[in-house]
Structure 1
Amino acid sequence: MDGRISSPRKRRFVVPFSVIALLAASAAGQAQDRVELAASAATEVPANATAANPAFVPDEGIALEEAFAPYDTPIEPALPDHAVDITTIEPAAPATTSLGMGVASYYGRRFHGRRTANGERFDMNAMTAAHRTLPFGTRVRVTNPRNGRSVVVRINDRGPFVGGRTIDLSRAAATQIGMISSGHARVELERLD
């Protein structure tokens, strides 16, 4: 060694001039194509143009601002005729299955905080209900035909265990359909699927 400190060699990448020239020519050719396209679109006279109204919007082809749009600006593609714009579709209402008429009662403070049949804590202020056979999580619309008011409840408990009763509503659900004062009411039941 001659006493000099050796350092790792730095690699240099050499791009041949012919490659640089080819890239420049390609970019220039694309720009020229866009200019020619815009010029031809601007000089064409449409069939529907008149002397009184020379302004027109071409039905097809490329617009002048699109011809000069930068390459990084995305141009929205036109949707085919069979395509559907899903942003304009409203979700369909849930399908309902009538469960017929029945008698509803409610339960509240005495059971508040106790475990329900599905393991939750009963909340008398939640929109829940007890039913003997419907699966847990089923949503049911309960309508009081005397006043037309309805509520959607989620089944999270089993019951009622009093003969002649079909569904036990939470206190909040019973309040919503106006049956607190009577304690029970004849109701229409619909399962929401």
Structure 2
Amino acid sequence: MKCSNLSTLMLSVFLLSSCSSGPSGRYSQHEDSAPTRLPTESELRSAVPVHEPISPQGNRDYRVLGNNYEVMDSAVGYVEEGYASWYGNKFHGHLTSNGEYYDMYSMSAAHTRLPLPTYVKVTNLNNDRTVTVRVNDRGPFHPERIIDLSFAAAYKLGMLDSGTAPVRVEAINLKTPMRVEDQSAPGSQSNYHIQLVASSDINRLSQLKRNLPPKFQEIATTEKTDGLHKLMLGPVSEQKSYDLLEQIRSSGYPQAFRVKAAQSQTDTPDAVQQN
């Protein structure tokens, strides 16, 4: 994939209006902006769909900016074409509609009506690039836009410079197997990590690690990428990763997601310090 020049990207963001339209009183920024770095290779991996219960938050009908929105009972069979936008720094670290924390480097998205969470495949109709994202937020509250993508997802689709792009959004039905670009080929022994949270403060992650149940503390590690520390569990086999993901989400980390473990020794996570 061709990488956009970061300086061009930053200039484009300042020239464009905010991609996410919605209430802004609780945010420190008035307008949205791009981060100071591009996504890493590991952050550009599509979300891997897993069976999840409907979130206890964010799934009731609601009203925003004078408009009423009815949340769909099911995402089965959902396909829609329209325009996608993306959101970044302004919302990074703030709570999403289903009570998780928005990470602009995760493969996530916002939608006005889909149940939370829902996994969808998004195709940029301008270049046929695709990405699988996990919908965990509400928006975009802007006419003619049907989905708001994370910064990483928008970068992978090649739509950062324009700010918006025509897309096709297709819900993934987990009742039937679906090939995902990041899933391992049959017979492979690839391992996975479960990412719990990301922060620039390693001491915060150490405290979070100490508060984990003992069975999770034993496999807790951190990975540092461009100054950002990530608290992770694993690595574990692909088969075990699904059960581990469900366990940690039900233990108070509903925002946790799977990440394929790095293959090179230089990318192996370091153990979290106890003090």
* TM-score, with length taken from structure 2: 0.35
More strand by share: 2
* TM-score, with length taken from structure 1: 0.49
Greater Rg over alpha carbons, structure:
1
More helix by share: 1
